[in-house]
Amino acid sequence: MKIEDLVCRGVRALASHKKTEITETYDKMSLFEKAVRMDLNENFLIEEELVKWVLRYVGEHLDPRRYPPAKGIKAIKALSSLTGLDEANLAVGNGADELIERLVNVFVGDDRALVIEPTFEMYEFYITRRGGVKVSCLVNDDLCISADEILRAVNGVKAVFICSPNNPTGIQYDFEEVLRVVENFKGLVVVDEAYVDFAGRSLCERAPDYDNLVILRTLSKAYGLAGLRVGYMVASDEIIKWVKVAEPPFNVNAAAQYAVEAIALRADDFKRCIAKVKEEREYLYSQLTKLDGVKPFKSSANFIMLKVVKEGWNSSKLVNALLNKGVAVRDRGNLPKIENCIRVTVGTRDMNNLFLNALKEVLHGS
């Protein structure tokens, strides 16, 4: 007997995929451990005092001997306070990734799902692992979506995944185009708004009004809980009901739930930190526009995508050169429509200047 014969079809399919860039990161870990990390879109502008206050709040309330509040109810109550949304329209997960997985398990299974690309690679990961089939629909040449193109591609699919603001382009798609898909497609439409806190507009309040719209959000980016893993979804009562049928009882740990409660108590302070990210994003973009050899794209997220246009250079070469200079960024040049592009997280002013100086040095030797 071969163990491989016992492995599920979807997992075998994953084994045949090329390495993800996160896996490749671990292959170079000795370099990454020493680098300034501007590759994972973490929020470095949350004030140290605020982070420490959240940790003290967790420490004062957490009893690790006890199981966490079941079904993430403490986090749901805090999120309802933070967002103004009804608890019945919320579900939480161990990061937004878990919620993507659960949506695939509940609504897609081994059927087909449409993914608007280029985008976040984990949609394909969970679809494939479950034994489903990912169908692609590319953005237009301007990197925006067309509802007409999407609706022409939905035949035989059960769900559509749209990331907006999109990772890695940073573009927030037109709401009317998104809602045209929702209103004319008979399956589930999942809009991943992981970066929407940096954009200013959201479809969250509209989600409960539709019977097939799910909005995904995360506290990893804007609120700095990447290490504790908290994501949430907003949808109609009926969708939430079925999502919770497949929900394990203790999927969100107690420390994470108390941290969400702490964030809700100091929401205004976090919003001030989010505003700082936007300010630094505009600074970084303006500086990149002055630099020959790269073309930056306007962003509605906490990162900026830029195209490498200097002769003799490509995205892979630039990413490796920057890593050798002690700055880690993400190579996105292998994705359709964004060849030779890299993605850099917006950091503090010192981090942004370190990246800019390293970029000037490797491209221009100065």
- Within the chain, strands assigned E span 36-37, 90-93, 112-117, 133-138, 159-163, 188-192, 213-218, 231-234, 294-296, 303-308, 327-328, 330-331, 341-345
Mean pLDDT, rounded, of the chain? 94
- The Cα 263–Cα 224 span in angstroms is 10
Please list, in sequence order, all residues whose beta carbon lies within 8 angstroms of the beta carbon of residue 279, skipping any fewer than 6 positions away.
Answer: none
pLDDT score of 343: 98
3-46+269-364 falls under which CATH superfamily? Aspartate Aminotransferase, domain 1 (3.90.1150.10)
For residues 76 and 67, what is the distance between their CA atoms, to the nearest angstrom?
A: 16
In 3D, which of 50, 79, 47 has the Cα closest to residue 261? Answer: 79
- For the chain, the helix, strand and coil percentages under 3-state DSSP, each to the nearest 5: 45, 15, 40
- pTM: predicted TM-score of the whole model, two decimal places: 0.93
Average pLDDT rounded to a whole number, residues 96-112? 97
- What pLDDT is attached to residue 9? 80
Q: Torsion angle of alpha carbons 96, 99, 104, 107, nearest 10°?
A: -140
pLDDT confidence bin for 312, thresholds 50/70/90: very high
List pLDDT tens digits, range 70-82: 999 999 999 999 9
Q: What is the pLDDT of residues 216-225, one digit of tens each?
A: 999 999 999 9
Q: Which CATH number applies to 48-266? A: 3.40.640.10
Please choose, from the candidates 306, 294, 307, 301, the residue with its C-alpha nearest in 3D space to the C-alpha of residue 280.
301
Q: In this predicted structure, what is the pLDDT of residue 4? A: 77
Percent of residues, the chain, with pLDDT higher than 90: 89
Judged against a pLDDT cut of 90, whether residue 353 lies above it is answered with: yes
Token digits for 57? 């709040």
pLDDT at 24 over 80: no
Q: Where are the domains of the chain?
A: 3-46+269-364, 48-266
What integer pLDDT is reported at residue 34 of this predicted model?
77
| Percent of the chain residues topping a pLDDT of 70 | 95
pLDDT attached to residue 17: 66
Question: Average of pLDDT values for 351-366?
Answer: 93
Question: pLDDT, tens digit, for every residue of 195-251?
Answer: 999 998 999 999 999 999 999 999 999 999 999 999 999 999 999 999 999 999 999
pLDDT at residue 102 greater than cutoff 80: yes
At 7 the pLDDT is 79
Residues ≥6 apart with Cβ < 8 Å to 241: none
CA–CA dist 274, 262 (Å, integer):
16
Q: Determine if residue 114 is left, alpha or beta; phi over 0 gives left, psi from -120 to 50 gives alpha, anything else beta.
A: beta
In this prediction, residues 323-343 reach a mean pLDDT of 96
pLDDT of residue 30: 61
| Residues 254-280, mean pLDDT to the nearest whole number | 97
How far is Cα 156 from Cα 31, in angstroms, rounded to an integer? 45
